[in-house]
Amino acid sequence: MAELTYGKAIGRAIAEEMRRDPDVFVMGENVGTTGNIFKVLEGLLAEFGEERVRDTPLAEEIIINAAVGSAMAGLRPVAEIMYVDFTTFGLDALLNQASKSWFNSAGRVNCPMVLRCPQGAGPGRGSHHTNSLEAWFAHVPGLKVVLPATPADAKGLMVSAIRDDNPVVFLEHKQLYFTKGEVPDGEYSIPLGKAEIKRPGKDLTIVCYSITVHTALKAAELLQKEGIEAEVLDLRCLMPLDREAVLASVAKTKRAMVLYEAPVHYGAGGEIVTLIQQELFRDLRAPVRRIGGLHTHIAYAPNLCAAAVPTAEQVVVAARDLVGYERKA
């Protein structure tokens, strides 16, 4: 195994798929000469040339429309929007064309595209570069939504996303780009919609994804010192959702919380909490807890940015309450 950053793991996956399949190409703002603002695609232009590494105008509507059209025509574009916030300019093509192509054509027209977007809170970027919009995309039939938390997952899921015949929204948390981890060498993929237990436990399940996996793991370390064994379940994908993995973990621990960075209200956590409550209500020893970001925009100032997103300490407090719920009742 090689140790790679999260960003380089994504870039390696794309490069390997471009070598394997001549129909794969990348497009977006500054993807060529600079390898994008986070250097994820560095070196691709030199290897594959301008025909397959296409710098586009600063026009997100054009990027998404061109990706949808080329995918329907038989290519496999990997299109990048510099920040997920700017997908709003091209949502018509994504939601009304890409997501519906297979349905409206009775299965005759696929749209095998990947839309890569950095997202999530980060100090010094302000409210126009820090949204977490995964629930928007997961709400739309026909879109797959992927949110890797580690370099190994980022590579394996990207390979599967490129090979998938459906449109995939691949959301990369900007604060993870320079985190490091071991990544398997050679051809390596992870099926979309397959969750993973990142840390086993017996007292409660923390269901999470993207950067909150690391928040949950930190909280689990703190809880272990108090004798509480938390299981950390990384969804990796919101759509398709690994319902079986969620239910199996919570059936074992009897307690659950759902952790995500997006504003807590109307977020993906509500769907997962409902799933657990409906399927396992009689088995639960405490109500399912939901922890998300504040219902506010992310400020530029580092202290205000940090105050808007969940922390390990918040998870610890909630876990103590869940484990002690029966005694209080």
**Do both 244 and 97 map to the same domain?**
no
**Do both 62 and 173 map to the same domain?**
yes
265 catalytic? Reply is no
* Predicted local distance difference test score (pLDDT) of residue 9: 97
List the CATH number of the domain containing 217: 3.40.50.920
* Predicted local distance difference test score (pLDDT) of residue 253: 98
Using the predicted structure, report yes or no on whether residue 112 has a pLDDT greater than 90. yes
Q: Which residue is it, tokens 């380089």? A: 8
Catalytic residue among 128, 129, 295, 297: 129
Please give the share of the chain, as a percent, with pLDDT higher than 90.
94
pLDDT tier at 327 (50, 70, 90 boundaries)? low
pLDDT tier at 269 (50, 70, 90 boundaries)? very high
- Give the residue from 114, 149, 183 where a domain finishes: 183
List the CATH number of the domain containing 125: 3.40.50.970
pLDDT tier at 328 (50, 70, 90 boundaries)? low
In a domain, 190, yes or no: no
**Do both 278 and 245 map to the same domain?**
yes
**Do both 149 and 270 map to the same domain?**
no
Contact (CB, 8 A) for 294 and 307:
yes
Using the predicted structure, report yes or no on whether residue 8 has a pLDDT greater than 60. yes
* Predicted local distance difference test score (pLDDT) of residue 226: 95
In a domain, 152, yes or no: yes
**Do both 167 and 270 map to the same domain?**
no
* Predicted local distance difference test score (pLDDT) of residue 123: 81
**Do both 116 and 213 map to the same domain?**
no
The mean pLDDT value for 166-173 works out to 98
* Predicted local distance difference test score (pLDDT) of residue 124: 85
* Predicted local distance difference test score (pLDDT) of residue 326: 63
**Do both 204 and 250 map to the same domain?**
yes
In a domain, 188, yes or no: no
Handedness of CA 170, 174, 178, 182 (dihedral sign): negative
Using the predicted structure, report yes or no on whether residue 325 has a pLDDT greater than 80. no
Using the predicted structure, report yes or no on whether residue 51 has a pLDDT greater than 80. yes
Task: State pLDDT tens for residues 201-231.
Answer: 999 999 999 999 999 999 999 999 999 999 9
Q: Which residue is it, tokens 């995309």? A: 137
Task: State pLDDT tens for residues 65-95.
Answer: 999 999 999 999 999 999 999 999 999 999 9
- Tell me the sheet residues that pair with 250: none
- Give the residue from 183, 210, 225 where a domain finishes: 183
Task: State pLDDT tens for residues 122-163.
Answer: 888 889 999 999 999 999 999 999 999 999 999 999 999 999
Using the predicted structure, report yes or no on whether residue 11 has a pLDDT greater than 70. yes
For helices 6-20 and 151-163, what crossing angle results, to 10°? 30
The number of folded domains in the chain is: 2
Domain hosting 122: range is 2-183
**Do both 177 and 211 map to the same domain?**
no
Contact (CB, 8 A) for 166 and 141:
no
